[in-house]
DNA sequence: TATGAATGAGCTTTCATTCAT
DNA sequence: GATGAATGAAAGCTCATTCAT
């Protein structure tokens, strides 16, 4: 709960939310993430937030409004900056190799990523069904990221550190593997014992060198 | 619809299903896949199947029963054989290189994979929320595949075609990228124009060699 | 209740309604008429009808649907025929004078009018607020009646029994006074003691001769 | 809005109302008249009045209080004086004939009647459902008017200008026709084209002489 | 005095499930 | 087996009213 409030601070600080609104958001994230949007009831969220059910509808006209109010700022304020910031650092030559950059991205932000997981899970679950969200996701996240990423990747390609492949495909493959790791680790098989450090390193090495053995 | 019935034949032929049952299953797959399990109503499924609502409950005690009846056989009869069969072929030295094997797996079964997508989508959507399904998925799919895969991978590793990495991790990374491609291609961004052949080839090359440039 | 069922027979017999549907209609008429549409709750109607609340919504998609299902057939099947039939009789020379016709219309159909009152009250109450109903009312009742009435009135005018005034105005004034009497008698001041026979006769005389004294 | 404020001046000036209270009353009249009492929400009225919801309840303990505060003064301060004043004028022999009186009453006060319509509509709509209002209406309007009217009518009857009919019935019939005209003109069929002058004259002639042709 | 966030009872509506036919 | 009317619990949502500021 305390950790989640930290994330909320980052996510929602700029809007002035009342105390109850924050509680509603927190409870909604928790519930949507656990059961999925459609299977979560507003009465359950209200109970978990310690507010009356009517209070939810005073702030969010509909249940879907509540969902959008959670996911939308995540996309605008959080995911895009997360990646862009690092890619800009990359441009500043902070990291000499792509491995270092990936390692730093994942390692530095692992706590954050883990804390983001509930909302990320909601996003991944609902985007296939909510055209509204899908459109937002496409406009805010995909276009933004892929745009700013292009020159970065080109830069590395010019330096001879990345293969010649269209930046979109490179971005897709990289993101797939990072999200795929998180999804396997925390959503599909959280009950398995994972050596996180090791598995992240393997993922990075895989991204860079693949599975084929070099002679 | 006709294509889907083909899949159903493969999936459900062995059980003797009545005509109505097949219609129910087809309608349920379509609806669950479009809206998600929780957001689908049995009345809508009944209407789409052209049967009375009561008929659904004559064959499937509950709505969840219907879901399980769709996803479970998929796991036992479909996914496992899909991979295992090919890996056995691999053992039979049908494919000399891993690339060839991956290419064959994806290319040969692409139609099937596409036809499977609705059910796959249901599976991916519901496994995080349905412990019952998750347990089944773990027992039937994960254990089986990972078991039979182990020696295959080891074989290739001994032949020097795959890097020295625990087979589980290799399996995880490979599956992640195949499913990740399908998810991006057909669920997240179906509206984009994709050159499927090309993108599959890139995915295979990526799996084998990564993004790093070799000197 | 028994009387109301008689009216329902006339009103709804042609459609094959289930027993429960009839009970719902009866209860809805009673409740809407007593409290007005907006102040009536579906749960109250359900309780009064002795059915589950869900049953109402199985037959009528929304509460407004229920309202329309009550008022609409009244307009098509009841009010128009009521007047038209008599005016046709009039054409058949059944009544020599207009007084006789009015007296017959009101007297013959008094029971019916009284039984219709609840629905009539609903109609009068809701037409100002429900554009849907207003449009129907205009098309089905007003146009029909005024059309068929026109020639009748002209006939009487030619016979020198009615003054030269546009038929629409004559119709408006006549209907106003009949409904005005019913409204005063049964809705505004039901608690007063009325000598119905006498007051009807006065209304008829008023319609024909006005309040001014002839010398 | 400006016209309505004029009416409000007449209706509510004597009580010292704050600016906000006037805005609330105006907004309530508009809303109740458009949607009916039960279908109007206090939040909508507050928004239309430009005040906070709480402010309404500071001045009017309940929503019904607000309704009564609108309709009650209309009955005490407006309707009764309207008629009584004119009937007193009548006694003062200001009008020689009843026609003249009726014409003057309607013509002189037409603007006022039109401006009153929203409140009149509320009154007519709610009296059937609010026993409180009905009692008030009966005590303040009916008794008063009918009392003071009695001798006036008798006066005219003695002068041989009105037929011998109980004053209550004469009052009822006259009021029915005036309200009936307003109701048809402004509530039921406002969309039709009306020649107001002509239709009022017809109504007056009808009240005095009826529809029957004199030989 | 005025505000508007908060309430909770009650509303309309949905829906999985049952059962007489 | 198949039907679909009926159910009632629970869903999403509204709204008059309260109260701390």
Name which of C165, C142, C79, C76 is nearest D191 in CA terms.
Answer: C142
- Mean pLDDT value across chain C: 82
What SS3 string covers chain D?
CHHHHHHHHHHHCCCCCCHHHHHHHHHHHHHHHHHCCCCCCHHHHHHHHCCCHHHHHHHCCCHHHHHHHHHHHHHHHHHHHHHHHHHHHHHCCCCCCHHHHHHHHHHHCHHHHHHHHHHHHHHHHHCCCCHHHHHHHHHHHHHHHHHHHHHHHHHHHHCCCECCCCHHHHHHHHHHHHHHHHHHHHHHCCCCCCCHHHHHHHHHHHHHHCCECCC
Of how many residues is chain C composed?
215
CB under 8 A, 24+ apart: contacts of B125-130: B125/A36, B125/A125, B125/A128, B125/B36, B125/B37, B126/B37, B126/B67, B126/B71, B127/A188, B128/A36, B128/A121, B128/A125, B128/A187, B128/A188, B129/A34, B129/A35, B129/A36, B129/A39, B130/B64, B130/B67
Q: Is the Cβ–Cβ distance between B181 and A173 less than 8 Å?
A: no
Minimal Cβ distance to C177: which of D160, D161, D176: D176
Phi (first) and psi of residue C130, to 5 degrees: -110, 100
In this complex, do B39 and A129 lie within 8 Å of one another by their Cβ atoms? yes
Judged by CB atoms closer than 8 Å, whether chains meet at D207 and C208 is answered as no
CA of B39 to C1' of F9 (A): 18
C and A: touch, per 3+ CB pairs < 8 A?
no
**Tokens 């990228």 sit on residue:** B177
**A125 with B121: Cβ contact below 8 A:** no
- Under 8 Å CB pairs connecting chains C and D tally to 130
> b/e per residue, B102-125, with b = 16+ CB within 10 A?
beebbeebeeebbbbbbbbbbbbb
Nucleotide nearest to C52 (CA to C1'): F7
Chain E positions with a protein C-beta closer than 7 Å: 1-20
Fold of the CATH domain B63-209? Tetracycline Repressor; domain 2 (1.10.357)
> Phi/psi class of residue D214: alpha, beta or left (left: φ > 0; alpha: ψ in -120 to 50)?
beta
Per-residue confidence of chain A (215 residues) as pLDDT tens digits?
A: 444 545 555 556 556 778 888 899 999 999 999 999 999 999 999 999 999 999 999 999 999 999 999 888 878 776 666 665 655 665 565 677 888 878 877 777 677 777 788 888 898 899 989 888 888 888 877 877 777 777 778 878 888 889 999 988 998 999 899 889 988 998 888 888 999 999 999 999 999 998 777 76
pLDDT of residue B80: 61
What pLDDT digit, counting tens, does each position of B85-127 carry? Answer: 655 665 565 677 888 878 877 777 677 777 778 888 898 899 8
Q: Are A113 and A182 in contact (CB under 8 A)?
A: yes
Which bases on strand F have an atom closer than 7 Å to a protein beta carbon?
1-20
Strand partners, B186: none
Protein CA B52 to sugar C1' E21 (Å) = 14
Distance from CA of C140 to the nearest CA of D (A): 14
- All residues of chain B having their beta carbon less than 8 Å from the beta carbon of residue A38 are 36-39
Distance CA B183, CA B195 (A): 15
Q: How far is C11 from chain D (nearest CA, A)?
A: 24
- Domain A64-209: top CATH class: mainly alpha
CA pair distance B70, D94, nearest whole angstrom: 91
Low pLDDT (below 50) residues in chain D: 1-2
Q: Is the pLDDT of residue B195 over 90?
A: yes
For position B2, what pLDDT does the model report?
46
Rounded to the nearest angstrom, the minimum Cα separation between D18 and chain C is 31
Angle at CA B41, nearest 5°, toward B135 and B57?
75
Q: How far is the CA of D151 from the C1' of E13 (A)?
A: 58
Name the stretches of chain C with pLDDT < 70: 1-16, 78-94, 109, 214-215
């Amino acid at each position: 709960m305390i950790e989640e409030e930290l994330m909320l601070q980052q996510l929602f600080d700029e809007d002035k939310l009342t105390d109850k609104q924050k509680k509603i958001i927190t409870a909604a994230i928790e519930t949507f993430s656990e059961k999925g949007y459609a299977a979560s009831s507003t009465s359950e969220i209200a109970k978990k937030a310690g507010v009356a059910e009517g209070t939810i509808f005073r702030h969010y006209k509909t249940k879907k409004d509540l969902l959008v109010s959670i996911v939308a700022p995540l996309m605008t304020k959080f995911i895009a900056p997360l990646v862009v910031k690092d890619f800009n650092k990359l441009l500043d030559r902070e990291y000499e190799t792509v491995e270092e950059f990936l390692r730093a991205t994942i390692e530095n932000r692992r706590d954050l990523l883990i804390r983001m997981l509930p909302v990320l899970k909601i996003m991944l679950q609902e985007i296939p069904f909510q055209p509204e969200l899908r459109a937002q996701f496409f406009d805010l996240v995909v276009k933004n990221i892929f745009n700013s990423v292009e020159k970065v990747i080109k830069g590395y390609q010019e330096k001879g550190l990345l293969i010649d492949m269209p930046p979109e495909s490179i971005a897709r493959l990289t993101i797939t593997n990072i999200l795929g790791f998180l999804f396997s680790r925390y959503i599909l098989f959280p009950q398995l014992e994972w050596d996180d450090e090791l598995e992240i390193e393997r993922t990075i090495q895989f991204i860079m060198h693949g599975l084929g053995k070099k002679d």
